[in-house]
């Protein structure tokens, strides 16, 4: 996951306001699954999205959910219309969400996060309990194993 760590470091270095969610957050809490993308929930303000663009601009980001895989070229007007960004970069996929199922908007996600010290700085990750809630709310079959492991980790550390 060195590419995911580099993406996180770039976001931190550019002052992007975000919380790591999804598989990378699960791995940070001790889940033994492999993930190939970085999922974050972030503030979708114009300023924050422009910082995100500056952080990854040299990694050739493209909108991966568009047929022509259009390059990421954010403008203030375009930012105001966004709810999510699904990007491919030279370092892998980066999914930026404005809310998380089962939890709510970015403010609620941030309130349900914990700080981890990483080599690139202090970074917010979705808390163990919030991860369980979000993965259960998503209800995807691929999340079943992660939910089992997250609950076992919570039990082992005395969180019920």
> What are the sequence ranges of the domains in the chain?
2-156
- Average predicted confidence (pLDDT) for the chain: 93
What would the pLDDT profile of 94-135 be if each residue is shown by its tens digit? 999 999 999 999 999 999 999 999 998 999 999 999 999 999
In angstroms, the Cα distances linking 84 to 44, 48, 76, 79, 95 are 8, 13, 15, 10, 8
Separation between Cα atoms, residue 38 and residue 22, nearest integer Å = 8
What is the pTM (predicted TM-score) of this model? 0.93
Longest dimension (CA), the chain: 49
Q: Which of these, 90, 137, 87, lies nearest to 112 by C-alpha position? A: 137
Percent share of the chain, pLDDT over 70: 98
**Which of these CATH numbers, 2.40.50.100, 1.10.3720.10, 1.20.1260.10, 3.30.460.40, describes 2-156?**
3.30.460.40
Which structure tokens are listed for 21?
């969610």
How do residues 129-151 score in pLDDT, each as one tens digit?
999 999 999 988 888 989 999 99
């Amino acid at each position: 996951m060195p590419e995911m760590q580099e993406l996180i470091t770039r976001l931190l270095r550019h002052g992007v306001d975000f919380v790591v969610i999804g598989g990378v957050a699960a791995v940070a809490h001790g889940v033994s699954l492999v993930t190939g993308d970085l999922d974050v929930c972030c503030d979708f303000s114009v300023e924050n999205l422009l910082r995100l663009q500056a952080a990854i601009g040299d990694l050739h980001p493209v909108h991966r959910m568009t047929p022509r895989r259009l390059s990421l070229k954010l403008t203030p007007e375009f930012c105001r219309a966004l709810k999510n960004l699904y990007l491919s970069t030279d370092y892998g996929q980066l999914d930026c969400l404005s809310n998380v199922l089962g939890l709510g908007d970015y403010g609620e996600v941030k309130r349900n996060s914990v700080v981890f010290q990483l080599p690139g700085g202090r970074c917010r990750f979705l808390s163990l309990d919030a991860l369980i809630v979000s993965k259960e709310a998503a209800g995807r079959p691929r999340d079943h194993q992660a939910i089992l492991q997250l609950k076992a980790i919570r039990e082992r550390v005395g969180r019920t």
